[in-house]
Amino acid sequence: MSTLDLLLGLDPTKLKRPVRQVELTRLSEAAGEKVVFTIQALTLSEEEEISEICDKGGVKDPVAVRIFTLLKGVTTPDLKSPKLLERYGAATPKELLESSKLLQSGEIAHLYSQISELSGYSENAVTELKNG
């Protein structure tokens, strides 16, 4: 069967955006119960939007890329929640993450890595076939 036939045979409703739940250990320890974030893969248009936002004269700001990736890729909790921003004294979601008032830089990096992996940026996303 050809690859085209295989793709035509797939049920498109089963090809959903990948989602994962991750526990943030430090926050769980502080809260006394599991603090779980739900993250999702980014779409190509979301990645393009992040790229445009983070472009500083032709150079991508890597910290801004991580922050805006989290703002698009974290679905729960709502990092844009006015209550959350007020509680942590942040004027914007970007400030909430930049200030380390909620998440530490390493936690941001790990969440970024997980979102990137869900978005297909991993070693096992594709397999190269050898001829012969």
Question: Domain map of the chain by residue range?
Answer: 17-118
- Count CB-CB contacts under 10 A for residue 25: 11
Determine the Cα–Cα distance for residues 73 and 78; give it in Å rounded to an integer: 10
Tokens describing residue 71: 């703002």
Determine the Cα–Cα distance for residues 130 and 132; give it in Å rounded to an integer: 6
pLDDT 10s digits, 24-45:
999 999 999 999 999 999 999 9
Determine the Cα–Cα distance for residues 44 and 27; give it in Å rounded to an integer: 31
Tokens describing residue 23: 């526990």
**In this structure, which topology does domain 17-118 adopt according to CATH?**
rbstp2171 (3.30.2220)
CA dihedral 73, 79, 80, 86 (to 10 degrees): -170
pLDDT 10s digits, 101-116:
999 999 999 999 999 9
Determine the Cα–Cα distance for residues 120 and 99; give it in Å rounded to an integer: 29
Q: Can you give the pTM of this predicted structure?
A: 0.89
